[in-house]
A = this chain, B = another copy of it.
Amino acid sequence: MSIDPGSYTPIYRQLADLLRVRIEAGEFAPGESLPSETRIAQEYEVGRDTVRDALAALRNEGAIITVKGAGSQVRPQHDVAVVRVDGRARVAARMPSSAEKRQLKLTDGTPVLVVHREGRDEEVHPADRTQLDVGD
């Protein structure tokens, strides 16, 4: 499979799909680095900006993380903290505000879980390392 410049699907999206397949196939282990943007641009014969668009898409869907100066890697799996939610509650999810993102040290593509309970403050949990245990 390769890139078709004549396709109606944008190149950066085709490239993101190709990289996603390689990631899911296990070609890059979690925590392992992908090739550099320049390298990928050479391999697929596209501009670096196009590569960056593809990597941005993968970041925003939580597939990879990127560290300035160091490169991109498959998103490492965190240990999951199971948070018990007693009693009746409302649970929602959303993207963090920029303040929450800083405070909780959230990477791009990481939502938060929000727990509302009667008479209590709202709880906000990072979704990349939290599961809720609810009910009963």
Contact = CB atoms under 8 A, between A and B. Distances in A.
Interface residues on A, range: 35 or more
Contact of A131 (B91, B101, B109): B91
Interface string A93-125: 111111001000000111111000000000000
Interface in A46-99: 56, 60-62, 82, 85-98
A18 interface: no
Nearest to A134: B134
Interface of A is mostly: mixed
A133 interface: yes
Contacts of A94: 62, 111, 127-128
A135 interface: yes
A136 interface: yes
Contacts of A61: 95-98, 101
Interface of A: 16-17, 20, 56, 60-62, 82, 85-98, 101, 108-113, 127-128, 130-136
15 contacts: A16-B98, A61-B97, A62-B94, A62-B95, A85-B135, A87-B135, A87-B136, A88-B135, A91-B113, A91-B131, A92-B127, A93-B112, A94-B127, A111-B127, A134-B134
